Amino acid sequence: MRTEQETTSAAVAEVSRHTLSVLVENKSGVLARVADLFARRGYNILSLAVAPTADDRFSRITIVVIAEQAVLSQIVKQLFKLINVVKIAELSPGNSVERELMLATVRATEQTRPEIMDIVGDYTAVVLAEGDNQITISVGGATAEIDQLEEALRVHGLVEIQRTGQIALPKIGAEVPILRASK
């Protein structure tokens, strides 16, 4: 017989962040079908990035979701039913390198410009353009670092911001669990 604590623990599934690397045929409409699958099932995408691979027959879609394991399993099953999906792997922070790119335009007065430039330097960001009252910067790094920089700049007034979403590849020599693959 289960204790009350065991019953409660079993009932509460652990929700966590998952990064899926989905190799697909590089064909028109594939991304739309993947996005539509998530929309139809009510799954929320935290981040989505897609680009061709070194082999131009294929594209890699990096999808970040927050879900419990049972939901993740359903996502993988549904994705693999799509005809153009070749392989699905889950990339964890331990077995992958993950990056994101951010472009941001920040308000910068004569008084605040030195502080903003110090922040930009701390995060090894690059100044792309400067105007009388604004600075546009670019930075690439881990999502957590980009989040921190965004918060530091927000104090000064973000005029515009664009983030790519997370991209990821397996670390060289890492064992990456393949969740599904074509034969």
Domain boundaries, the chain: 4-91, 97-167
Residue 112 confidence (pLDDT) above 50: yes
| Tokens 């030195």, located at residue | 114
From residue 38, how far is each of 59, 79, 165, 182 by CA, in Å?
Answer: 18, 9, 17, 21
Residue 1 confidence (pLDDT) above 90: no
The CA-based dihedral angle spanning residues 167, 173, 174, 176, taken in that order and rounded to the nearest 10 degrees: 80
Q: DSSP character for 6?
A: H
pLDDT per residue over 15-69, tens digit each?
Answer: 999 999 999 999 999 999 999 999 999 999 999 999 999 999 999 999 999 999 9
Residue 169 confidence (pLDDT) above 70: yes
Closest alpha carbon to 177 in 18, 31, 13: 18
Domain 4-91 annotated CATH 3.40.50.800:
no
Correct CATH for 97-167 of 3.30.70.1150, 3.40.50.1820, 3.40.50.300, 3.30.499.10 = 3.30.70.1150
Q: How far apart are CA 119 and CA 110, in angstroms?
A: 15
Closest alpha carbon to 64 in 151, 166, 174, 136: 166
Q: What mean pLDDT do residues 135-163 have?
A: 96
Q: What mean pLDDT do residues 152-156 have?
A: 96
Percent pLDDT > 90 in the chain is 84
For the whole prediction, is pTM greater than 0.85? Answer: no
Record the tokens describing residue 99, joined without a space: 């990056």
pLDDT level of residue 13 (50, 70, 90 thresholds)? confident
